[in-house]
Structure 1
Amino acid sequence: MLVLGIESSCDETGVALVEAAGPGVPRLLAHGLHSQIQMHQAYGGVVPELASRDHIRRVLPLTEQVLAETGRSLAEVDVVAYTRGPGLAGALLVGAGVACALGAATARPVLGVHHLEGHLLSPFLSADPPQFPFVALLVSGGHTQLMRVDGVGRYELLGETIDDAAGEAFDKSAKLLGLGYPGGPALSRLAQQGDAAAFKLPRPLLHSGDLDFSFAGLKTAVLTQAKKLGGELEARKADLAASTEAAIAEVLVKKSLAALKATGLKRMVVAGGVGANRLLREQLNAACARLGVRVHYPELHLCTDNGAMIAMAAAMRLQDGQAVATRTYAFDVKPRWDLATV
């Protein structure tokens, strides 16, 4: 079974082809990705209308590129999958519309995929795929969640953010420090030059006794500290960046360890853009190694949004009988969509 996956939920256009043969993990044949970062930098963040228009320009050339790389034709594709949500409504509509048009033109069934499920299953694309069950830390954009994953489509929410997500804390703190867009990677790069113990920043809900997160207070503390520094901010910017990154990483690691203890599981998956953070990986790997816990990540280039994770999630759902692709080409999208309802 060949699955063509299309991702267009925000500011990356992704297309990929995955092959599922037999009971094993589906295999990624090729993927293409276009990032809109350069286009949105002038505005300091994603402009939804511009994002949608750029998806229109990119999705078909990327599809042609992926098919050419694999030597396959559109007629050989068995299922066309696309991101149905959550995400920007206009951007989602582009991917859904193209996928359903391709399906209708070739009489192939289509399948809408949950964006976060794509991230959740993205470590199965790696050379060291996990095995069920596991605890998953999803840290993607506006989402920070801990989940127990017993199989494809069998997800139990353990905890989530009650306000800002980890990715938003990175991006908003970076903006306060004047680091530009995208803020998270810029803050992490600057943090490598600073002293993480230079400023005592809060670790919200660290000792709350539950598995929920809150990062809005941390962002406010960064703002307060930046104002206190005044003219000294430029000279201390790296220290403040390092202290901010350390606070976010500590909360994510401690809550993840608490989730492992609560479930008794010995395997963990970290997925989403923040999962590429160097400090988070170092601290989580060290802590889990002491506990005899295996940690799995997607490959670094597949941490951000991409078509490979959408094709993989669709293939795994179809293999497991958790979804049925249809030849109903009328489509809708879900800009807000709770993963627990999938």
Structure 2
Amino acid sequence: MQLHDVWFVLIAVLWIGYFFLEGFDFGIGVLTKLLARGTAERRVLINTIGPVWDGNEVWLLTAGGATFAAFPDWYATLFSGFYLPLLLILVCLIVRGVAFEYRHKRPEERWQRNWEHAIFWTSLLPAFLWGVAFANIVHGVDIDREKNYVGTVGDLLNPYAILGGLVTLTLFTFHGAVFAALKTVGDIRDRARALALRLGLAAAVLAVVFLAWTQADRGNGWSLAATAVAVLALAGALVANQMGREGWAFLLSGITVVAAVAMLFLSLFPDVMPSTLDPQWSLTVSNASSSPYTLKLMTIVAAVFTPIVLLYQAWTYWVFRKRIGVQHIPGHDPAAALEKP
């Protein structure tokens, strides 16, 4: 295996890690409207990801930086061709971070409610748009012989890509509901489990169609195996959720995300961005990569710092592992939990 193949795998791992971690906190953001009843429960949901959401986004920064350094032509074509949707994702992530920090700065209900609206929409839109973006990458887009994207924004909103966006939205929200059940106590925990069942069934229907479509379009033996793992893990997560085994349900919902994203990368290889105009114009791991010296230097740096980041993030999750409920919210009035959003 050559270094550009190794870095394709490493970038796939970074995106898998990002979607595994950011997936459930996108889901929590969406659930602030779908699950929470009243201000106290919205605070509970937000507090479940409060210590970790910014660390989860480090995976996105690392994945983007690694793509830029290891595959500059892929990065250039992707970020120029997908400029508007990726810009919208970036704006959402910026506003979302500000919303988490500013929401509690003033006591007025209107102030807090406006930032809660921002958290909901800036969680929902990226969860959908990431699916649209990756579905287009796998399916292929209009790339010419100069490695430039020559399509339009409207071309990105094709049926396959929209289905991909719906899959990531429902799957991340299901992942978030399972996480909410794992991290909370009381009535909100029970309702999170009930909602997770409905979300999981919806995600299962959409995911099976999308995975089958992808397998028929670009599939191979490895991607078929990943598809099978994703389907079995999702079924297992639903069963564990119904049995009240939130830890197993979260692990299995995470494996579903991991296997689904892995399937996309396995379907893609050795391309990194297929061309629908002419297969010979596709970007591949060989014609879009940096020099061997650059890849060698990057490998050394990654080998040193990656374990440090993983250990620190694991420690963070361990420290903030306990469940919380509305009774842990300072100044909480028990009747507030019954308020409608």
When normalised by structure 1's length, the TM-score is 0.30
The answer to which structure has the higher helix fraction is 2
The answer to which structure has the higher strand fraction is 1
